[in-house]
Amino acid sequence: MSDKRTAPLVQVRHLKQYFPVSTGLFKKTMLKAVDDVSFEIEKGETLGLVGESGCGKTTVGRTMLHLYKPTEGEIWFDGTKIEGTQALHSYRRRAQMVFQDPYSSLNPRMTVADIVAEPIDVHHLCPNKKAREDRIRELMSLVGLNTEHATRYAHEFSGGQRQRIGIARALASQPEFIVCDEPVSALDVSIQAQVINMLEDLQQQLGLTYLFIAHDISVVKHISNRIAVMYLGHMMELASSNELTHHPLHPYTISLMSAVPLPDPRESRKQQRIVLEGDVPSPLKMPSGCPFRTRCSRATEECARRCPEMKEAAPGHFVACHHI
């Protein structure tokens, strides 16, 4: 296989995203939402990104698409560094996002046809009105929506249908890469399975690459080829889906996996739940060294002195811990 085929589609290098937060009169403190995160996504694969609420995973996805301007770091797409207006315009056609909330991410004043066609209009992808209408019908059919619903408004649909509209909009510009920001967390469990299966079918059919962000590790395990675990803006562990779920190395990942319910009642009774002690530190007052050390049973003075770097503990299995 040639180097061109094996080159990653997306590369994130030392990404940082800081937000100024007012902490008093004329005083601002930097909230480190994402702090030195690096990873790659191969063409055609799904990378799952998991962690607790507030760990920075959504900020990673939004910053990758330049919805937030990165504080530091580089984002490369298909061998090109994303910087400058021209590169960004091309990148935004080839990379799209499916948002978490299907209720607030759709304009209530626009019909479904206009919502789906917005990327088509922005990037001038259809030469005439008939081609635009044909493309709208094709996209709606692709995500399992009836084409006669095109003249309706978003509030007339259920949550699952609205998320399908959001997915159709993301597909309208014929992207190669899609950031799925907790696309099923606001949906009923039965609808979640339908949407995830549809995303997998679309990936096979259209050759898509996904960054799939979620807090439910069992959902991520089902859809992802590899999984990355985040905690307080830092990446703790990265490995293949099977390796991470069966052989987690980082204490935080081990705790997360112990909380996943097992379908077999007998196995579930044998499962030992690892409960983390203490509260999650404020991102405005981060502990020195390793961000997880205040809740870690393995923590030593070394953990307080310096933050561990990601290292390859086994082939393809990366972990940020001084004791592994």
Ordered DSSP codes for 148-165:
GGGGSBGGGS-HHHHHHH
Model pTM score: 0.91
Instruction: Please give the sequence-ordered ranges of beta strands (E in DSSP) within 94-204, or none if there are none.
Output: 95-98, 177-181
pLDDT at 259: 74
Beta-strand relationship, 209-213 and 46-50: parallel
3-state secondary structure of 231: strand
What pLDDT shows up at residue 2? 37
Would you write out the chain's pLDDT as a tens digit for each of its 324 residues? Answer: 334 446 899 999 999 999 999 888 888 899 999 999 999 999 999 999 999 888 999 999 999 999 999 999 999 999 999 988 888 989 999 999 999 988 889 999 999 999 999 999 999 999 999 999 999 999 999 999 998 889 999 999 999 999 999 999 999 999 999 999 999 988 888 889 999 999 999 999 999 999 999 988 888 998 999 999 999 999 999 999 999 999 999 999 998 888 776 666 676 666 667 777 777 888 888 889 999 999 998 889 999 999 999 999 999 999 999 988
CATH number corresponding to 7-224: 3.40.50.300
- Which SS3 state, helix, strand or coil, does residue 182 take? coil
Domain ranges of the chain: 7-224, 250-324
As beta bridge partners, residue 24 has 27
